[in-house]
Every structure is written in structure tokens, then in C-alpha cells.
Amino acid sequence: MKILVIGSGGREHALVWKIAQSPLVEHIYAAPGNPGMARYAECLDITANDIARLVAFAREKGVDLTVVGPEDPLAYGIVDRFTEAGLAAFGPSGVAAQLEGSKVFAKRFMERHNIPTAAYAEFDDAEAAIAYVRKQGAPIVIKADGLAAGKGVTVAHDVDTAVNAIREAMIECAFGAAGAKVVVEECLIGEEASILAFCDGKTVVPMIASQDHKPLLDGDAGPNTGGMGAYSPAPLVTPDMMAEIQRRVLEPCVAGMAAEGMPYKGVLYAGLMITASGPRVVEFNCRFGDPETQVVLPQLQSDLVPIMQACCEGTLRETPVAWNDDACVTVVMASGGYPKAYEKGKLITGIDDAEREPGIKVFHAGTKQMPEGVVTNGGRVLNVTASGPDIAATIEKAYRAVHKIHFDGAQFRTDIGAKALARLTTD
């Protein structure tokens, strides 16, 4: 088989790495890819949003399956364009991808199908939103309606912060058209978990639970980011809790999408808050999470390619999906200044040294190959990922690898996985 993976980040590197393990695959293309993916794939000079060129390339090369990593091309309807061209593509249709592309759409959908989520109000007028926040008080959550690369959410612990977030989105247009509307939500109390699930329009098969770390700094302080690290499995999600999530969130979502004429295929990502009253949906994403993919795929024992084919063809129920017993931890090494302005072009050293230890894989998230070596080329630069027999040993292994890698201004959290250790100790 020939496989095309669309995207250039750590998630896509993890996908390429896993797909390359399949005996069914003879050649992998990555568009545009990155230096890490180049070890397994032929990288193309085609951006992820250049849908016409991607379709033409896939048709010309006889690509058997295209795997879409980022959210933007999914929202733009890339799967529809591939389907119209008679090409198989893994991911939801453009109309189904509204679950992530519009917070307003998602909240209304969850209301219609009794999927547990936070109480909310939606606004297209900044002053009305500000007045609502002043009346409700804090803590409160402000979300830009559209896609904002994981940075359009503010958990405001005081009213002034909430008001500033509304002004930034709606008046200063920090997120462009994505902030023309905002959703204002109650602040849920609990602990977050990420559940990714394979879907074929009817059947839902959840993956191993993971936990992302969105805030920049240790102790969940600082601004929100695209994700500073993750671990899996998440002990917060017990077998009973996973069964409840399947029954109250995943299955109603896929059934609701089918009932509304938008069959959902691909990966459904439920970002959850596990509260005293059970799981409640913080957000739905319509693709593999980043950095959750980097800790979930190493635990997948089955061949990923037949699973993705089954999602496209509606045969997931008959397809085996098995997992190993490892723990997995990934630590994001980010550029200085991220998630605000940051410099690029900083030389990276130590990746090969880090990967010499068994169970370490460094996924490239924002890198570029230059004559002098691999340099930084994004906010999140590397996902330093460790696999091991238990979470404590795996955390230690991940941070040993992190300390072997260097670039100017590198920043990373030092407490990825601490919540898991605390919960296991308590239990």
C-alpha cells in the first residue's frame, strides 16, 4: 500500500512512525512532513491546506489511503474532496468536522443529544458577552467559536481576565474570524482526561485513556498552549468510568451525528472533565490529539492501517484493536516565548543521544533541516516520548532523555505525569 500522511507536527510524526510498522505498507508520503518523518517517509513540498494539489498528487501516485492529521484541512472538507475523487481518506467529512470547527455547533449538538457538558451562553456581541460575565462572576471559561490552534480558550479565575479574553477574541481579533463569536461556559471542577476513539459511522472503539497538560507551567499555571505533555494510561479513567464515557458520550455522539445525516468516521476526540457527578465534555476534536497521539499509539498492539481502513469502509466492528500493557509519557520541549512570540532557527543537539536508550522516541513537532543540522521551526519543537512498564519509571526515563537535548531558550514542564503518581499513591 501507498499511504499519504498530511501534516508536519509531532502527531503526524507519530502516525508515520506507527504506519511504517505495518507489513501492508510499501511507501509513505508526508505532506509537508518534517525532518523526523523523513526517516520513514518521502516528504513533499505541499502544505496541509493545499487540498487541490494533495488530491492531484494522491491520484497521480495511486495512493491507497490518505491520513489527515491537522484540524484545518478537515474543517475545509478535504475528506469530501478525496471521496469525490474516488480516493480513500481517513477522517470526518467537512460537515461532521463542525464538531471541532465551531464551539457553538458542538454545544447545540450536545444539548440536542443529552451529552453531558458545561452550561453555556453564546455571543456575537462583545459588550453583551462582557455584561453576561460580569453578572455570572468567576471562575468562568471563554472560548473562541472557531479553530484557534488550541489557544482560543481562557479559563478565567477573575472577571477582569474573562473580560480581557472576550476583548482579545472579539474586538482585537486575535484569532481572526474564529473569534467573531464566543462561547462563555461555567468552569467545571474536576480532573481532565482525553479519550480518543476510532469510529466508522456506527461503531465506536475507544483508545487507551490519556491526560494532556494544556497550561504552559508546572502546577497548571500560566497561559493555555496546544499541550505541553501527556501520559497514558490515565488512572483517573477506571474501567467503570470508561464504560460510562462510552455510554453517555461516545455512543450518543456518533449515533447523533448519524441521525442528523453526518455519519462520523475517523477519530473522535472527547476532551473531558471528570467531575463529582461524572464525565462532562469540555470539547470535541475531530482528529488525533496532539500530544495525546504520541502516548496512545505506542500502546497500540494491532496494525493501525487495517483499523483506519475499517473506519473508512464501515467494518470496524469486525476489526481487532488490541493494546499492550506499557505506560507512555511525552514531554514537550518548546521554544522560548511560546505560546506568544518566539524565535526560530535554534540548533538542536542531543536527539540521537536521547534515542539510544531503549523505549525512547523523539517525535519532531516544529523542526527544520538545515546544513548545520536540525533547528527549531515552531512553538512546540519536540515530543520526548518514553515507554516503560509503569508510569513512575517511564516519567524518570522521559526526563532523562529531555536533559540530553539542548537548544537555546528551550522550555518544558517538569511535572508531566505527577497527577498519575498522586492518584496511584492515594489509591
Name the residue ranges covered by the structural domains of the chain.
Answer: 2-94, 125-180, 191-318, 327-426
CATH of 2-94, one of 1.10.1740.10, 3.40.50.20, 3.30.70.2740, 3.40.50.920: 3.40.50.20
The answer to whether residues 319 and 306 touch, using CB atoms and an 8 Å cutoff, is yes
Nearest Cα to 271, choosing from 206, 193, 212? 193
Q: Which residue bears the cell 483499523?
A: 307
100 vs 267: CA distance, rounded Å: 12
Sign, CA dihedral 87-93-94-100, equals negative
CA geometry: angle 30, 3, 69, nearest 5 deg = 55
Q: Which residue bears the cell 505525569?
A: 417
**Tens-binned pLDDT, residue by residue, of the chain (427 aa):** 999 999 999 999 999 999 999 999 999 999 999 999 999 999 999 999 999 999 999 999 999 999 999 999 999 999 999 999 999 999 999 999 999 999 999 999 999 999 999 999 999 999 999 999 999 999 999 999 998 876 788 999 999 999 999 999 999 999 999 999 999 999 999 999 999 999 999 999 999 999 999 999 999 999 889 999 999 999 999 999 999 999 999 999 999 999 999 999 999 999 999 999 999 999 999 999 999 999 999 999 999 999 999 999 999 999 999 999 999 999 999 999 999 999 999 999 999 999 999 999 999 999 999 999 999 999 999 999 999 999 999 999 999 999 999 999 999 999 999 999 999 887 6
pLDDT at 424: 87
DSSP H or E run through 1: none
If you write DSSP's letter for every residue of 229-251 in order, what string do you get?
A: EEEES-TTS-HHHHHHHIIIIIH
C-alpha distances in Å from residue 282, one per residue of 109, 142, 147, 158: 13, 12, 15, 20
pLDDT at 427: 67
Strand pairing class (204-206; 211-212): unpaired
201 vs 83: CA distance, rounded Å: 15
Q: Which residue bears the cell 471541532?
A: 100
The answer to whether residues 38 and 12 touch, using CB atoms and an 8 Å cutoff, is no
17 vs 24: CA distance, rounded Å: 14
Query: Which residues, 6+ apart, have CB-to-CB distance to 410 below 8 Å?
Result: 333, 334, 335, 336, 381
pLDDT at 255: 98
The answer to whether residues 6 and 66 touch, using CB atoms and an 8 Å cutoff, is yes
Phi, psi of 111 (to 5 degrees): -60, -45
Return the CATH number of the domain spanning residue range 125-180. Answer: 3.30.1490
Strand pairing class (265-275; 373-376): unpaired
Return the CATH number of the domain spanning residue range 327-426. Answer: 3.90.600.10
Q: Which residue bears the cell 477506571?
A: 238
262 vs 252: CA distance, rounded Å: 13
Q: Which amino acid is at 236?
A: L
Nearest Cα to 301, choosing from 279, 273, 326, 336? 326
CB count within 10 Å of CB 296 equals 26
**Which set of grid coordinates corresponds to residue 22?**
505495518
* Residue 367, SS3 per DSSP: strand
pLDDT at 263: 97
DSSP H or E run through 282: strand 278-285
pLDDT at 145: 93
pLDDT at 211: 97
| Fold of domain 191-318 | D-amino Acid Aminotransferase; Chain A, domain 1 (3.30.470)
